[in-house]
Amino acid sequence: MNSAFLNQLKERIGNVSSKVTLVAVTKSVGIEETNEIIKAGVKVIGENRIEDFEKKLPSLLAVEKHFIGQIQSRKIKRIVELFDVIQSVGSIEHLERIEKEAAAQNKPVKVLLQFNISGEEQKGGFKQNDVKQIIEQFPKIQHVQIIGVMGMASRTDDEEIVRKQFRLLKSIRDELRATCPTITELSMGMSNDYKIALEEGATMLRIGRALFKD
């Protein structure tokens, strides 16, 4: 664990807002490092590989667990069972399936809607013009609470491109929130662009590599 970076990050977050949540992306580290960062004060972790995460569970300290990986339909039942928040819901089909599974398990599930703000084909998620279709789904959602949106900016050195994409995600969040007031979270910003994300109003940062590098 990079303790110096973690302390600097906490200070930077604290200077911006007390409402910003650090999601430590622990998908690439073992249980020892995962528990180490929880002991250091991190309250939320993010995982994207169910099989690897299940190996950690027996020894995992108490922490809020977010699923941040690509959703496969056949794994939705297990995702709902294991995680407190699902950050990567990028299709109506998956939203409907999660709603059905949450009802079957009688488990309230919090989700974020993933939007493809970079326009890159390899990245999943809704498009901006899907907003109307999403809003039409709201009356059908009883067991799922949509709490925000998530997106990944382009990997580029051009800060203005990244800033523009984060602003797009924020505008989508605001449009959805006008109909559904629970949609408040803005999950954006990773190790390479979290500073810009904070400046643009992020409420959740997903940081992995920078937290665990030597």
pLDDT at 194: 95
pLDDT, average across residues 197-204: 96
205 Cβ contact partners less than 8 Å away, ≥ 6 residues apart: 9, 13, 20, 21, 22, 23, 187, 188, 189, 190, 194, 197, 198
Class of domain 3-212: alpha beta
Q: Tell me, what's the pLDDT at 123?
A: 80
pLDDT band at 207 (very low <50, low <70, confident <90, very high): very high
Please, which residues bridge with residue 179 across strands? none
The torsion angle over the Cα atoms of residues 78, 81, 87 and 90, rounded to 10 degrees, is 50
Rounded to whole angstroms, how far apart are CA atoms 172 and 188? 13
- Reported pTM: 0.94
For 148-188, the pLDDT digits (tens) are 999 999 999 999 999 999 999 999 999 999 999 999 999 99
Domain boundaries, the chain: 3-212
Q: Are 204 and 21 in contact (CB under 8 A)?
A: yes
* Residue 3 pLDDT level (bands cut at 50, 70, 90): confident
Label residue 208 by pLDDT band (50, 70, 90): very high
pLDDT (tens digit, 9 = 90+) per residue, 123-143? 889 999 999 999 999 999 999
For 85, half-sphere exposure in the C-beta direction (CA atoms, 13 angstrom radius) is: 21
What CA–CA distance (Å, rounded) separates 181 from 162? 26
